[in-house]
Amino acid sequence: MKILSLSSLVLASALATGCAFEQSSQLLSPTAPSGNEGTAGGSSGGSSSSGGGSTSGGGSTSTGGSGFIGAWGSSTIAGLPLGNCSDVSWQINSQTATSITGSVAASCSSGVVVTANLTGTLQSEDAINLTAEGTLTALGLPCQFKLIGVGTRESGDTLKVDYNGTYCFGTVSGSEMLRKPNAQPAVVLEPPTLVSPSNGATLSGIVPQFTVRAGNRSGVTGPIEYILEVSNDASFTSIAARFFEDETLPDTTVAQGYSFLNSKTYYWRARTGHNRGANLSDWSSTRTFKTPAPTEPGGGGSGGSTGAVSGTNPASCNSSKGSDIADCIEARYPQYRRAGASLDQRKRDMKFLRDRLIEHATCKGLTVGLNLKRGGPEVSNDFITFFTLGRWVGVDIASGYDDTRSTLSMMWYQHGASTSWGFPYHKPYGPVNCN
């Protein structure tokens, strides 16, 4: 017959007492964020602002996301007889490209104290293999435990840990939701509702106004803006125009005086941006509108990427001179040159302007193309190739490209053979439709 020692009986009794306490796993309540969380509020309407992709800060040599470094908390460790704990602290102290180290600690109402070492290896930027190995102590008596599991980031500040393991009286398994206690809730944005033009409407002119209505959102702490795209096709592979507009409530009107082509069907959609592009909603549903036939020969607008010219464009758009072509593109697309965009957005805008300039120049009879930066494979955004006098030369087409605080200016600065950029790495642009 197996005989238990007195210390084992005392420990078993103490841990059993702990089991009588609450065992449910509860998220730590985060500190209430400042700002207008849960409201449809935002900054007042005005000039457009950044629509960049989401970015987040990095932890120490993190492989992605915001890293795992920091204090994470839960109310207990399911399966272990701890009782009700005011805080179980999962502290990640260091992180490399492949691993983390830290500790687990808790003081629970049953008198149980937890201390453990925490180690792990990164599976990806949002998943990590974890091992917690240490001691839970009741009435001065130690009990060794070891938990092995996987932590998966469900948002920037929430980590779900599924685990199993052993302790001095058997096996355990469970799942905990860990949260950084001082973190604000995740920002959730629903796409806006398209109000006007109504779907399939034929406009009375070629300079439309667009109206969108705010969608539901939560966790909002910064300004709200709308990104509105108008496309020549239903798949949005040929963008005719893109607009950025700060939110006004309840509806936001986008009226930037942009002229589209006559007798065309366009597709449009919108999305919500938060905090200058730090968070983006999904795209709304897509609607179409039609522009009217011209009232007289030569009517129509600029809204395309084909190099077509109309009376609404500056006189420079009729010229085949490089500097005039740059002035034409600058005048046509002011929304792509705005100051205050994120660097990623500035790159996307510059690529759009580069392509429109190449297409317009091609339609005006110039032989131009893309430039392979330092021989490739990366393609330059603000530098193109131009065939003149029997050879290819390089052309700078933008000023202030890297300074996102300033409005981007289009230019045509042609390099000669005496400069470092006199012999570019030409890459054909592809077919251009000038009709």
Domain boundaries, the chain: 56-179, 187-304, 318-435
Mean pLDDT calculated for residue range 10-19? 45
- pLDDT score for 47: 36
Count of helix runs (H) and strand runs (E) in the chain: 3, 24
**Banded pLDDT at 326 (limits 50, 70, 90):** very high
Mean pLDDT calculated for residue range 41-63? 35
How is residue 183 written in tokens?
Answer: 């973190």
- Run of H or E residues at 103: strand 99-108
Residues 6+ apart with CB under 8 A from 334: 256
Mean pLDDT calculated for residue range 380-407? 87
Share of the chain above pLDDT 70, in %: 73
- The CATH classification number of 187-304 equals 2.60.40.10
Say yes or no to pLDDT of 102 above 80: yes
Mean pLDDT calculated for residue range 218-235? 89
CA distance 373 to 426: 9
- 106 and 89 Cβ atoms separated by less than 8 Å: yes
- Run of H or E residues at 139: none
Find which of 27-41, 108-122, 281-295, 309-323 is predicted with most confidence, using mean pLDDT.
281-295
How is residue 148 written in tokens?
Answer: 């092995």
Task: Please state which of the ranges 42-46, 263-267, 313-317, 402-406 shows the lowest mean pLDDT.
Answer: 42-46
- pLDDT score for 37: 34
CB atoms within 10 A of CB 431: 7
**Banded pLDDT at 180 (limits 50, 70, 90):** confident
Beta-sheet pairing, 287-290 with 201-202 = parallel
CB atoms within 10 A of CB 247: 24
Say yes or no to pLDDT of 41 above 60: no
Q: Is the dihedral of CA 51, 53, 59, 65 positive or negative?
A: positive
Say yes or no to pLDDT of 167 above 60: yes
- pLDDT score for 51: 34
Mean pLDDT calculated for residue range 261-280? 89
Q: What is the pLDDT of residues 332-380, one digit of tens each?
A: 899 899 888 888 899 999 999 999 999 999 999 999 999 988 777 899 9
Kindly tell me the burial class for residue 379, based on how many C-beta atoms sit within 10 Å of its own C-beta (0-12, 13-18, 19 or more): middle
How is residue 43 written in tokens?
Answer: 């900054």
- 355 and 374 Cβ atoms separated by less than 8 Å: no
Say yes or no to pLDDT of 61 above 50: no
- pLDDT score for 81: 64
Residues 6+ apart with CB under 8 A from 380: 370, 371, 372, 373
Question: Across the chain, what does the average pLDDT equal?
Answer: 76
Looking at per-residue pLDDT, the higher value among 55 and 362 belongs to 362
- pLDDT score for 262: 83
**Banded pLDDT at 160 (limits 50, 70, 90):** confident
**Banded pLDDT at 19 (limits 50, 70, 90):** very low
What φ, ψ does residue 253 adopt, rounded to 5°? -105, 130
The 193-196 sheet, strands edge to edge: 193-196, 210-213, 251-254
Task: Please state which of the ranges 31-40, 110-119, 286-295, 352-361 shows the lowest mean pLDDT.
Answer: 31-40
Share of the chain above pLDDT 90, in %: 29
- pLDDT score for 311: 31
- pLDDT score for 79: 59
